[in-house]
Structure 1
């Protein structure tokens, strides 16, 4: 029975003499040639098909979509003010600040850009990254992805002030509820967002590859000792600790890391 999983053609030494299908040159036994499995014909090495190099992976640009949204909102506000106040528009813009709803996009972009640079510096054959990937069927995006020997890290970068902490409510008599608090801000919904991203990535790479969710607070008030924790399987940490985790040994070799990296790049386009 033919092996249907065998390649369509392969380079080999001929057991019997033959002739090149392309130029009809004689090919003696024990000479190297290209065997065409389906047609059972051969070609001389002059007609060997060149190996096509895979297209480079577009790793994306960290913070690009947040930066574009900030610039869009800023330009729209400037246009509105200049249209409404043709003579005083420049003065009003010089004396007024951007609204918080606009500056939040700049703050977020800076956090993603800063972490993205550190991830790029850590890249190697066994640590490959992607930035700012679009979530299929959603307006949301994934800030960063890192593929390492231990699996895939889905990383949400945040630039919040204050100390991250896990607050647990309920227990014996009431349902246990975990809340992520940063300073005075309740950031529990961020965990829900990361879990949705993890589910999307897991649907692409399958159950054989570990997928971990990470919330990385780049400007938070972290303690000198300890400080990291996990809530609902999402790790909460800072940049240096994240990079240390990415360097851990695991089951995937460089080839496996590259394969998963390309699968994610093909499925999740740059935002």
Structure 2
């Protein structure tokens, strides 16, 4: 599955719904934007930004394949409406990174306040907790210890105060990074010795349990 595809599809669906009725099309031709049209356009823009961010993250991650990483993008989380933006299988074949991409306001710094991750004054900790839940669910489905599946949040746009954050959640620690810190963090993460066969076997298990996301 191409990174960001499901988010791009959702943006297109929202834009299409805004043009569905003859009345909506007439208002658009007349240059009149109703409150509903504005809300729909705003939601479509958010999904489109999300798709761009996921595609950008995938491009950043692509060089890891030469080092033995297996990369998967836009996977469905079983028995959930959620999707996994990126799943990374380490070269050692014993660790997985569940990585979520967010595109937050460029003019608002991301920081910790009272133990919660904020973008400017907006509390975004629920999104941090979500990626921790996803990682926990991945570990459960694959029968892996929770410590072998690491949740990671990469932020596009908003600058990260201090370069990176460590956010605590009920399902464990989540590292919150900007795009500049993504590859250095993954390269520096402790892994065992590369084992191409073990990595391929773990990637096959991921493919068995997590199918490409469909709207």
| Equivalent residue, structure 2, for 1:221 | 159
CA distance in 2, matches of 1:87, 1:71: 20
8 Å contact from structure 1 (residues 134, 140) kept in 2: yes
Per-residue CA deviations over 1:143-183 (Å, capped at 9, x if unaligned) read 10111137211111001022111122xxxxxxxxx211112
For residue 120 of structure 1, report the CA deviation from its aligned partner: 2.0
Higher relative CO (Cα under 8 Å, sequence separation at least 6) belongs to 2
Change over 3 Å in CA distance of 1:75–1:158 after alignment to 2: same
Q: TM-score, normalised by structure 1?
A: 0.67
Determine helix, strand or coil for the equivalent of 2:145.
coil
Is the alpha carbon distance of 1:93 and 1:144 closer, same or farther for their aligned partners in structure 2, counting shifts above 3 Å?
Answer: farther
Q: Deviation per CA, 1:72-118, whole angstroms, max 9, x where unpaired? A: 010110113xx115655434379986532221111111111111111
Does the 8 Å contact 1:78/1:93 carry over to 2? no
1:74 aligns to what? 15
Aligned residues: 199
Q: Does 1:65 align with 2:6?
A: yes
* 2:197 paired residue number: 255
Q: Aligned match of 1:193 in 127, 130, 140? A: 130
Task: Classify the secondary structure of the residue corresponding to 1:215.
Answer: strand
The corresponding residue for 2:77 is 135
Decide whether the 8 Å contact of 2:109 with 2:119 is kept in 1: yes
Higher helix proportion, which one? Answer: 2
TM-score by length of 2: 0.83
Distance in 2, Cα, partners of 1:85 & 1:265: 42
Q: Which runs of 5+ in 2 are unaligned?
A: none
Match in the other structure for 1:236: 176
**Matched-pair contact (CA < 8 Å) for 2:27–2:33:** no
Cα 1:86–1:76 shift into 2, 3 Å: closer
Equivalent residue for 1:92?
Answer: 31
**Structure 1 residues 74 and 167: CA distance shift in structure 2, 3 A:** same
Partner of 1:109: 51
Are residues 84 and 236 of structure 1, via their aligned partners in 2, closer, same or farther at CA, if it must alter by over 3 Å? same
Instruction: Identify the residue that residue 62 of structure 2 maps to in structure 1.
Output: 120
2:102 to 144, 158, 164: 158
Post-superposition Cα deviations, 1:219-252, rounded to whole Å, max 9, x if no partner, equal: 12235xx421211200000123221222245215
Q: Is the 8 A contact 1:115 1:157 kept in 2?
A: yes
Q: Aligned to 1:165, what secondary structure does the other structure show?
A: strand
- 8 Å Cα contact 1:191/1:234 also seen in 2: yes
- In the TM superposition, 1:21-60 aligns within 5 A as 60=1
Displacement of 1:124 after TM fit?
Answer: 2.5
